[in-house]
Amino acid sequence: MKLGIILETKEYEKAWNALRFATTARNRGHEVKVFLMGEAVECESLSHEKYDVGGQLNTYIKAGGEILACGTCLKSRHLEGSEACPISTMVDCVQMVEWADKMVTF
């Protein structure tokens, strides 16, 4: 199955769980794409003693997952895209929704 995930929060536990879900889906053989929107574009640098969001993001990528990050959201925070979180557009988000069999939003 093709799963699209839109992550809109940088709240530690919610973002961590979204990425755990994405990693689990990848490990079960599903194709998964995650689009980071709004404050979620800051997830790569998030770390908490219980919820290592950045670490979970890297685990997801190592499992073969794909991350897209809203370029407008990055720019509004004076951030740049990275290899893990490349700058993407709303067109990319729409294409992900069109590609996916199922969508999940966190």
Whole-prediction pTM? 0.93
pLDDT number for residue 47: 82
CA separation, residue 78 to residues 10, 21, 75 (Å) = 16, 29, 5
What tens-digit pLDDT sequence spans the chain (106 residues)?
999 999 999 999 999 999 999 999 999 999 999 999 999 999 888 888 999 999 999 999 999 999 999 999 999 999 888 887 789 999 999 999 999 999 999 9
CB environment 10-43: b (16+ within 10 A), e (fewer): bbbebbbebbebbbebbeeeebbbbbbbbebbbb
Q: CATH number for the 2-100 domain, one of 3.20.20.70, 3.40.50.300, 1.10.3720.10, 3.40.1260.10?
A: 3.40.1260.10
pLDDT number for residue 44: 86
